[in-house]
Amino acid sequence: MIPYSRQTINLFDVLSVSKQLAFKSLTQGSKIEEFEERVAEYVGAKYAIAVSSATAGLHLAVMALELPDKSEIITSPISFVASSNAILYSNHQPKFIDVERETINIDLSLVAQEIESNKSVRAIIPVHFAGLPCDMEKLTKLSAAKNIKIIEDAAHALGARYPNGKKVGSCEFSDMTVFSFHPVKSITTGEGGMITTNSPELYKKLLRLRSHGINKLNDSFESSLLSTTDGILNPWYYEMQQLGFNYRLTEIQAALGASQLNRLDKFINKRRSRVTWYLLNLSRVPSVTPAQSNSSTLSAHHIFPIRVNYSELKISRAHLMKSLKERGIGTQVHYIPIPLHPYYQKLGFGVEKLPEAMSYYHEALTIPLFPSLKQSQQRKVITELSNLLGASQAK
């Protein structure tokens, strides 16, 4: 079976985790700090905060902005539900803006219209879909005049670059950036995520929020009576100064992440070469186009989504996916537009103003892409797609 994606684990990863288990601490130790420092250095940010998932990272990032309750936060409808769930967790309101047909990223012309007319918008969470960065320089110019904060949802985009050559995560164009280390992402820690920022104030807030509202590193204590004895700091003392969460990463996960980080550029180059091959050979498949044809040099290539004209072919997506699975090829759909989910429907969200998102959804199919994918496997994917869709077209 060729899955749509899979992690890439080698002996060095196994040894790194085994060494951590055998000889080192398992939580809240130096390996996490090492991993954070290396990620910050890689992307070019001042600070990095490891968390238990990208969802946790998005939640903390929204909370750290300390926006007024019920603020509206713009985001994309084509994403995993975590992007907008983090907004709801923080007692704010998601505002879904349609996507561009060419990139499946949020349409900045529509964002400009929204922030001009809607004074309730306080932040934007752009999603770098499939690893392709949004036009962050343009978005920054749009938002700066209105003092609107930006959190980049870069769950797909570790290793991606902006047109100016800077890496996604440098926070040159945002307040914070959030990455995912889920098994199918650029690198993995099993589950896990990272927030990067250049703001020392946000860094301190994020550290505190990550661990129950407690920061033992550099917060000054509020209670001089409880924190000292005879003027000397009590060694056991700590303070919970706000309501936080247990969103910490473990040392075991950090050991795996640090090992994986050694091969990140190699992973991205392999993904890029496989995407290039797909783009050269996809023309063999009738009524199929790449969802992002211009992404090869900037994207981290988390997934490779295509668009299939099912109505022209007179075949359903369900039938095509079932037939491919029978032939040993796994596929997926990224994503069901968030406002279509029953929970969001009950909150009153709809898709009437999201024609491009719906058009993409009706045609979307993710085909296999991962660093260890062989060219022979890619040939099989293209051949089976061509046979199935060609036969359907001939009916």
- pLDDT for 254 beyond 60: yes
The tens digit of pLDDT for each residue in 272-321 reads 999 999 999 999 999 999 999 776 789 999 999 999 999 999 899 999 99
Q: Tell me, yes or no, whether 213 and 316 share the same domain.
A: no
Q: Tell me, yes or no, whether 146 and 162 share the same domain.
A: yes
DSSP 8-state assignment for residue 59: H
- pLDDT for 394 beyond 70: no
Q: Tell me, yes or no, whether 295 and 379 share the same domain.
A: yes
CA 24 – CA 250 distance, rounded (Å): 12
Q: Tell me, yes or no, whether 188 and 303 share the same domain.
A: no
Q: Tell me, yes or no, whether 228 and 304 share the same domain.
A: no
Q: Return the percentage of the chain with pLDDT > 90, whole number.
A: 90
CA 162 – CA 300 distance, rounded (Å): 11
With CA atoms as reference, report the closest residue to 388 among 367, 359, 374. Answer: 367
Domain-embedded: residue 111: yes
Domain that residue 257 falls in: 11-261
Single residue among 208, 237, 261 that ends a domain in this structure: 261
Q: Tell me, yes or no, whether 344 and 227 share the same domain.
A: no
Number of continuous H segments (helices) and E segments (strands) in the chain: 15, 12
Residue 53: is it exposed, middle or buried by C-beta count within 10 angstroms (0-12/13-18/19+)?
buried
Confidence at residue 322, expressed as pLDDT on a 0 to 100 scale: 98
Domain-embedded: residue 1: no
Domain-embedded: residue 269: yes
Q: Tell me, yes or no, whether 17 and 94 share the same domain.
A: yes
Single residue among 226, 261, 296 that ends a domain in this structure: 261
SS3 of residue 393 by DSSP: helix
Single residue among 215, 245, 261 that ends a domain in this structure: 261
- Written as one string, the DSSP assignment of 33-53 is HHHHHHHHHHHT-SEEEEES-
Number of domains in the chain: 2
Q: Tell me, yes or no, whether 78 and 224 share the same domain.
A: yes
Domain-embedded: residue 379: yes
**Which uninterrupted H or E stretch holds 331?**
none
Q: Tell me, yes or no, whether 347 and 235 share the same domain.
A: no
With CA atoms as reference, report the closest residue to 42 among 188, 196, 152. Answer: 196
Q: How far out from the chain centre does Cα 343 lie?
A: 22
Q: Tell me, yes or no, whether 158 and 289 share the same domain.
A: no
Domain-embedded: residue 3: no
Q: What CATH number does residue 273 fall under? A: 3.90.1150.10
- Written as one string, the DSSP assignment of 131-189 is GPPP-HHHHHHHHHTTT-EEEEE-TT-TT-B-TTSPBTTS-TTSSEEEEE--TTSSS--
The tens digit of pLDDT for each residue in 142-176 reads 999 899 999 999 999 999 999 999 999 999 999 99
What rounded mean pLDDT belongs to the chain? 95
